[in-house]
Structure 1
Amino acid sequence: MPKQTIRDIDLAGKRVFVRVDFNVPLEEKDGQMVITDDTRIKETLPTLKFLIEKGAKVILASHLGRPKGQRDPKQSLAPVAPALSELIGKPVAFAEDSVGEETKAKALALKDGDVLLLENTRFHAGEEKNDAELAKGFAELAEIFVNDAFGSAHRAHSSTAGIADHLPAVSGLLMEKELTWLHDELENPERPFVVILGGAKVSDKIGVINRLLEKADTIIIGGGMAYTFRKLVQGITIGKSLYKPEWEPIAQAALDKAEQRGVKILIPVDALITDSFDFDTKKLGTTKYTGVNENIPDGWEGVDIGPESVKLFSEAVAGAKTVIWNGPMGVFEIKEAAKGTFDIAEVVAANSSAKTIIGGGDSVKAVKKAKLADKMTFISTGGGASLELLEGKDLPGVTCLKDK
């Protein structure tokens, strides 16, 4: 997906509007909002340092949370300015709004290499509606648009796509990296190419399954969506495990397509089951492992893959040259149901001869929780965006950028 990047244009002395993803978790401490995880800020540093070195006047824009077009001090980007300043070793000015005359005056006063952070773009109701006037307001601040917010690239908002109607638009270095790993590398992957998909609903992942059935050698299916496949393939009863009758034809069509294309689909052969499960309190009732292809009794539900499934999946992963993983193997937020997900994280990390790509969302949380992030080749910063890209969908925040 060859898009022009900040390397392809002259930046010296130019005001550059950079859409970043500073949607960081905040917590109130002693009456002040404090950042609890600055990963997303750190991910944009290569782009920001490049722009500063080239003498650009950097104007940073991001959303934070879901303020629904209202000003909310608890969702202000103000705490990000000092945190970013510390990371880049220079002052970061803050504008109380993301558009308007005062903000424009601050943008016009910037000197080469200066950095200005704008207030939360979603304090304006027009942002999520891709309002043309708001996009024009953003564009009036700058001469170039850089999109480095991959996590928001699947949304057509004023600051991610609309602004590109008014300014030359190119990709930042993080966006370039995401497109390289989640698109270009998978166009012609090194084989065997193994895909691991987890998560709750078959309906959410079927687009990705269908798309990757055209490229993968093996697809491993775990998580809540695996029970529909198990019911179909193994003919077992699945108790009250996650399942809807309308998922069956979707799963069957995927199985048929896999057979036609000679793609191996691996599904769990055993499970950790429980007789009661409360996600809110993170509590499970009595738990036990089923035997291989054993029925799940009425009143019980599967919450994780079992040890035999881990063995089965491990063999496929160990022999792979390219692995992409999206979605947990069970309810990994609950300690007792996290073993399968963490075991798979370890297996992926152990294959040092493969390119290992973690495709956003909960898989990233799991890999970080398992302290294995540094063992992976690439970890995506986008949940929904990575899924849509893997599905082959056009992302508004990417299609608006200039082609090479």
Structure 2
Amino acid sequence: MNFKTLDQIDFAGKTALVRVDINVPFENGQVSDFTRIDAVLPTIRDIAAAGGKVVLLAHFGRPKGKVVPEMSLRQVQPALEARLGQPVAFAEDCIGKPAKDAVSALKPGEVLLLENTRFHAGEEKNDKMLAAGLAALGDVYVNDAFSAAHRAHASTEGIAKLLPSCAGRLMEAELTALDAALGNPQRPVVAVVGGAKVSTKLDLLGNLITKVDALVIGGGMANTFLAAMGQPVGTSLCEHDLADTAREIITKAKAVGCKLVLPVDLVVAREFKAHADHQIVTECPADAMILDAGPASVEQIADIFSGSRTLIWNGPLGAFELEPFDTATNSAARKAAELTRAGTLVSVAGGGDTVAALNRAGAAQDFTYISTAGGAFLEWMEGKELPGVAALEAE
């Protein structure tokens, strides 16, 4: 990947239009999780310290091209000011006179938040007129919203073609980590793909088996593969209609030399609830459901991790939200964290359930990189071009 960073741009006296993702959750009228706000602070501070005027472009919710007062970014402004530790001005629109006047009033080092870009129907349509209206407000475009980079929107892709562009600190860190994981990784590379359904991750599996040396399949997905191989899965979550697809993936993995790793023992129960009576088996009884991988499977995964230099992780290995069916996920996560701390493994993980599972295991802080980008992370793992990233590629 060849893109410019903040360090290659002179921001002194210039207005930087910075695309951020501050689409944060609210509870009782207050921001309940500051992760996304905190993640963009380094970019804002670096541009301001370099003498630039910082103008923030962002979306909030899904207003679908209409002005929806409860989706106004004005309600995020106080939290942004508090975390940043300086005043943040606000403009009632992201283009036109309100935006122009607010930008004109800015002094170097000051910050302005523009109203929700998705209040304009042209945002999600990547409308050229809207992109031009945004670009007219500044001198430089900075994309620091990897989580929105899989969308070809006016504020993520269209505008990047109209101004000198670069990646912000968060985008730079994300792209560097992803390149280390799949673009130019240290080998052997192992991927963990878990979750409920194979059907949602067909593109992902198809891409990964051509890129990694070993692929660990867990969660409900593993049941579909086990059933396709003729093993009983009882009442487990399983997509029996995808048996042929699973067998095709198994065949393709063999052909390209990718080791496909499935559970060799299972933790089963008759009820889907925490602390349900359970047993460890090698074959699932007809009246039971598979809720986790067993200890022999965990040992197998740990051995593979120990022999690998790079790990990519998306999805839990079992019903991680229910004790004790979080054991395989927790054990594998802690092993990955241990190897990362020891400097023998580069570990990159992403996806909502994945982040939650690694946090529960107490392992997230030791991973090399945890992506909170959701859909963009998944599409990157699927090998798809991300429009917001492609638009930053230096010529």
Say whether the fold is shared (TM-score over 0.5).
yes
**Distance in structure 1 (CA, Å) of the matches to 2:308 and 2:298:** 15
Q: Which residue of 1 aligns with 2:392?
A: 401
- Asked if structure 1 preserves the Cα contact closer than 8 Å seen for 2:270 and 2:277, the reply is yes
Seen in structure 2, the aligned counterparts of structure 1 residues 325 and 100 have a Cα distance that, compared at 3 Å, is same
Seen in structure 2, the aligned counterparts of structure 1 residues 119 and 240 have a Cα distance that, compared at 3 Å, is farther
1:146 is displaced (CA, Å) by: 1.0
Bigger Cα displacement from structure 2, 131-140 vs 148-157: 131-140
- Please list every run of 5 or more consecutive structure 1 residues that lacks an aligned counterpart in the other structure: 278-282
Q: Which residue of 2 aligns with 1:361?
A: 352
2:60 to 64, 77, 82: 64
**Distance in structure 2 (CA, Å) of the matches to 1:128 and 1:287:** 49
**Deviations 1:357-393 (CA, angstroms, capped at 9, x unpaired):** 1133321122223332221111112111111112221
User: Where in structure 2 are the equivalents of 1:194-273 lying within 5 Å?
Assistant: 194-233=190-229, 235-273=230-268
Bigger Cα displacement from structure 2, 388-397 vs 240-249: 240-249
Percent identity, aligned pairs only, is 47
Seen in structure 2, the aligned counterparts of structure 1 residues 331 and 77 have a Cα distance that, compared at 3 Å, is farther
**Distance in structure 2 (CA, Å) of the matches to 1:382 and 1:188:** 20
Seen in structure 2, the aligned counterparts of structure 1 residues 243 and 185 have a Cα distance that, compared at 3 Å, is closer
**Distance in structure 1 (CA, Å) of the matches to 2:114 and 2:380:** 28
- Asked if structure 2 preserves the Cα contact closer than 8 Å seen for 1:150 and 1:381, the reply is no
- Asked if structure 2 preserves the Cα contact closer than 8 Å seen for 1:214 and 1:261, the reply is yes
1:174 is displaced (CA, Å) by: 1.2
1:264 is displaced (CA, Å) by: 1.4
1:355 is displaced (CA, Å) by: 1.0
Seen in structure 2, the aligned counterparts of structure 1 residues 289 and 130 have a Cα distance that, compared at 3 Å, is farther
1:289 to 257, 279, 282: 279
What root-mean-square deviation, in Å, do the aligned CA atoms of Structure 1 and Structure 2 show?
2.2
- Asked if structure 2 preserves the Cα contact closer than 8 Å seen for 1:314 and 1:344, the reply is yes
Q: Which residue of 2 aligns with 1:280?
A: none
2:109 to 107, 113, 116: 113
Partner AA of 1:370 in structure 2: A
Partner AA of 1:295 in structure 2: C
Moved over 6 A (4+): none
Seen in structure 2, the aligned counterparts of structure 1 residues 171 and 306 have a Cα distance that, compared at 3 Å, is same
| Secondary structure, counterpart of 2:219 in structure 1 | coil
1:86 aligns with 2:75: no
| Secondary structure, counterpart of 1:216 in structure 2 | coil
Partner AA of 2:267 in structure 1: L
Q: Which residue of 2 aligns with 1:11?
A: 11
**Distance in structure 2 (CA, Å) of the matches to 1:119 and 1:79:** 10
1:349 is displaced (CA, Å) by: 0.9
1:83 is displaced (CA, Å) by: 2.3
Partner AA of 2:10 in structure 1: D
Q: Which residue of 2 aligns with 1:96?
A: 92
Bigger Cα displacement from structure 2, 358-367 vs 50-59: 358-367
**Distance in structure 2 (CA, Å) of the matches to 1:71 and 1:161:** 22
Seen in structure 2, the aligned counterparts of structure 1 residues 92 and 335 have a Cα distance that, compared at 3 Å, is farther
Partner AA of 2:375 in structure 1: G
| Secondary structure, counterpart of 1:214 in structure 2 | coil
**Distance in structure 2 (CA, Å) of the matches to 1:94 and 1:272:** 54
1:93 is displaced (CA, Å) by: 1.0
- Asked if structure 2 preserves the Cα contact closer than 8 Å seen for 1:237 and 1:297, the reply is yes
1:288 is displaced (CA, Å) by: 1.8
Partner AA of 1:111 in structure 2: K
Q: Which residue of 2 aligns with 1:188?
A: 184
1:91 is displaced (CA, Å) by: 1.2
User: Where in structure 2 are the equivalents of 1:139-178 lying within 5 Å?
Assistant: 139-178=135-174
1:350 aligns with 2:338: yes
1:308 aligns with 2:296: yes
**Distance in structure 1 (CA, Å) of the matches to 2:128 and 2:292:** 47
| Secondary structure, counterpart of 1:194 in structure 2 | strand
Give the structure-2-normalised TM-score: 0.92
Q: Which residue of 2 aligns with 1:27?
A: 27
Seen in structure 2, the aligned counterparts of structure 1 residues 296 and 285 have a Cα distance that, compared at 3 Å, is farther
**Deviations 1:59-90 (CA, angstroms, capped at 9, x unpaired):** 11111222333444443322432322233322
Aligned residues: 392
**Distance in structure 2 (CA, Å) of the matches to 1:20 and 1:337:** 37
- Please list every run of 5 or more consecutive structure 2 residues that lacks an aligned counterpart in the other structure: none
1:131 is displaced (CA, Å) by: 2.6
1:290 is displaced (CA, Å) by: 4.2
- Asked if structure 2 preserves the Cα contact closer than 8 Å seen for 1:289 and 1:306, the reply is no
Seen in structure 2, the aligned counterparts of structure 1 residues 369 and 286 have a Cα distance that, compared at 3 Å, is closer
